[in-house]
Amino acid sequence: MDSIFFEYPKLLYLEFLLLPMIGIYLYRELRRKNPSLVVSSAAPYRFKGNPLHKILRHTPFVMRCIAVAAIIVAIARPRSSSMFEKIDSEGIDIVLAMDISTSMLARDFEPDRIGASKDIAIQFIAERPTDRIGVVVFAGESFTQAPLTTDRSTLINLMKEVECGIIEDGTAIGNGLANAVARLKDSPAKSRVIILLTDGVNNRGEIAPQMAIEIAKTYGIRVYTIGVGAMGEAPYPMMTPYGVKEMMVKVEIDEELLKQIATETGGEYFRATDNTKLLEIYRQINDMEKSKTTVDSFPLYKEEFLRFGLIALVALFVELIVRLFGARRIV
């Protein structure tokens, strides 16, 4: 909010000059009414002239007072100030590497693992407006669903299009991690992060997970790993002669590998067993990876004397008009 102050506030004491001006004017007005004349009847002099003349007769003096008061305020140099904030944000480059193998269709999450992972990842994307985020998906192989971007709407739409079965099935953790590193290795950002989510064991791919770890370490990329799946068994939709039936299948997650990836790259491993836990994990990562924001505040000053100068000019102009035309014509 703007605040007004005066560069020379002591000049405002000159406003007290209006008091003697008003006193002299009132004294002259009283003396003008005091002279008396003895006549037989006052009837001929009653209600003579236009009543508006009584008002207009004092208008020049009132305008003169307003002009003097405004001029004194103007020379005291009124100024307004407001705080201006310059915000510099140093964002983080993040790649979400998501497993889209068919095992992600298991229904130990609501509606299933892939659906829950997409929905919560979209929330994560929406909560990081200053970061560049990309999406890599992997199953038996890996490809880039979305390059690093700050375009949230496009990124969210591309995330919604992720489905199981769009590439060869399997779990190529090494390929997924290496592809995510490739998206970040040339990034100028000081902080580069991968969030790798999977529900299985590495069983496919040309790049071994250990090699992908070394590549990530070489470029100083931190990797957070998330294992998704209930403990023990999980319901999985399977095709039978009688249609799709839910069968209980064993949950197998290579937690040792995921822990190794996180530990060696400076990240952390998390285990999500349901939607709530997965949401908590993303929020925890969100809190751990804060964007650096610098706020510089400094005042902006604006000169306000012009408005008071205009008030004085208008008042003097009105005084002139009334003196030249009003008081003479209205009798």
Does residue 1 surpass a pLDDT of 70?
A: no
pLDDT tier at 324, thresholds 50, 70, 90? confident
Please, which residues have CB within 8 angstroms of residue 94's CB and are 6 or more apart in sequence? 128, 131, 132, 133, 134, 192, 193, 194, 195, 289
Residues 24 and 54 in one domain: yes
In a domain, 34, yes or no: no
In a domain, 297, yes or no: no
| pLDDT at residue 31 in the model | 79
In a domain, 238, yes or no: yes
State the CATH number of the domain containing residue 272.
3.40.50.410
Per-residue pLDDT tens over the stretch 108-121: 999 999 999 999 99
Domain limits for position 283: 92-290
| pLDDT at residue 41 in the model | 54
In a domain, 107, yes or no: yes
From start to end of 189-291, where are the E strands?
A: 192-198, 222-228, 233-240, 243-250, 269-272
Give me the phi and psi of 203, to 5 degrees please: -140, 5
Please, which residues have CB within 8 angstroms of residue 86's CB and are 6 or more apart in sequence? 295, 296, 297, 298
pLDDT tier at 269, thresholds 50, 70, 90? very high
Residues 97 and 22 in one domain: no
Per-residue pLDDT tens over the stretch 42-74: 555 454 555 566 667 788 889 999 999 999 999
Residues 184 and 317 in one domain: no
CA nearest neighbour of 322 among 70, 62, 23, 48: 62
Pairing type for strands 222-228 and 192-198 reads: parallel
Q: Is 231 helix (H, G, I), strand (E, B) or coil?
A: coil
Looking up tokens 């950002």, which residue turns up? 189
Calculate helix-pair angle for 305-321, 59-75, nearest 10 degrees.
160
The better pLDDT of the pair 293, 92 is held by: 92
Residues 273 and 147 in one domain: yes
d(CA 166, CA 100): 8
In a domain, 317, yes or no: yes
CA nearest neighbour of 288 among 209, 197, 202, 193: 193
Does residue 87 surpass a pLDDT of 60?
A: no
Residues 154 and 209 in one domain: yes
The backbone region for 194, taken as left when phi is positive above 0, alpha when psi lies in -120 to 50, beta otherwise, is beta
Residues 120 and 229 in one domain: yes
pLDDT-above-70 percentage for the chain: 86
d(CA 159, CA 229): 21
In a domain, 256, yes or no: yes
pLDDT tier at 270, thresholds 50, 70, 90? very high
Does residue 35 surpass a pLDDT of 80?
A: no
Give me the phi and psi of 140, to 5 degrees please: -75, -20
CA nearest neighbour of 142 among 193, 180, 197, 116: 180
Domain count, the chain: 2
In a domain, 41, yes or no: no
| pLDDT at residue 56 in the model | 72
| pLDDT at residue 289 in the model | 85
Per-residue pLDDT tens over the stretch 223-262: 999 999 999 999 999 988 888 899 999 999 999 999 999 9
Residues 112 and 195 in one domain: yes
Residues 138 and 183 in one domain: yes
Does residue 330 surpass a pLDDT of 50?
A: no
pLDDT tier at 189, thresholds 50, 70, 90? confident
Residues 313 and 261 in one domain: no
In a domain, 138, yes or no: yes
302-to-73, 87, 101, 168, 311 alpha-carbon distances in Å? 15, 22, 62, 65, 18
| pLDDT at residue 49 in the model | 52
CB 105 within 8 A of CB 164: yes
pLDDT tier at 279, thresholds 50, 70, 90? very high
Residues 108 and 240 in one domain: yes
| Mean pLDDT, residues 125-153 | 94
Residues 147 and 282 in one domain: yes
The better pLDDT of the pair 90, 267 is held by: 267
- Segment of 73-77, 170-174, 311-315 carrying the highest mean pLDDT: 170-174
Residues 189 and 284 in one domain: yes
Which residues does residue 137 pair with via DSSP β-bridges, in sequence order? 98, 143
pLDDT tier at 314, thresholds 50, 70, 90? very high
